[in-house]
Amino acid sequence: MEAVAMFAVGRGSGEVAKELRVSVRSVQRWRQAWSAAGQDAVRSRGPACRPKLSDALFAVLEEELAKGPVAHGWPDQRWTLARIKTLIGRRFHKSMTLSGISQMLRRHGWSHQVPARRAVERDEAAVDGWVKDVWPHVETPRRRSKSGSSSKTKPDSR
């Protein structure tokens, strides 16, 4: 609709495309539709396809997610997109991409969750000891700077 307002003022396709951050060809198609049939021809008709899971099926999915991953055979209490994809395949016999699942969950008000606190089983003394004693031996030592050639293919000439 912003493009239609710009068309009415007489702005050029390149200028409209730059301001709306779309291709010039898209602006040309919008202008052609607007010229032929008016403002209603440019109005959005919604998504191009129906969602894979209807609202009723998504409600069933939410019930399954509420049961938790352990109830569905996973060893811990983390829902990942891959696990949700597997659950959708098992329960509804539908295949979705991970990004499609993420978008669907966001549309329905779900968001990424991060634990609010550390695990009860965590032993801070053991973690500190590992960081001080074990990690320095596991980590590769940093290369010390030394004089030499800056070329990777030519050895030091000294």
One digit per residue, pLDDT tens: the chain, 158 residues? 888 889 888 889 899 999 888 999 989 998 898 888 888 888 877 767 777 888 899 999 999 999 999 999 999 888 999 999 999 999 999 999 999 999 899 888 888 776 667 777 888 888 888 888 888 888 776 666 666 666 667 666 55
Q: How many angstroms separate the CA atoms of 92 and 62, rounded? A: 13
Q: What is the pLDDT of residue 144?
A: 65
Q: What angle in degrees, to the nearest 10, is found between the helix axes of 81-92 and 55-67? A: 120
Is there a contact between 94 and 87 (Cβ–Cβ < 8 Å)? no
Report the predicted TM-score, pTM, of the whole model to 2 decimal places: 0.48
In this structure, the number of other CB atoms found within 10 A of the CB of residue 6 comes to 19
Q: What is the pLDDT of residue 137?
A: 81
Q: What is the pLDDT of residue 154?
A: 66
Structure tokens belonging to residue 82: 């891959």
Is there a contact between 20 and 33 (Cβ–Cβ < 8 Å)? no
Is there a contact between 61 and 96 (Cβ–Cβ < 8 Å)? no
Q: What is the pLDDT of residue 122?
A: 83
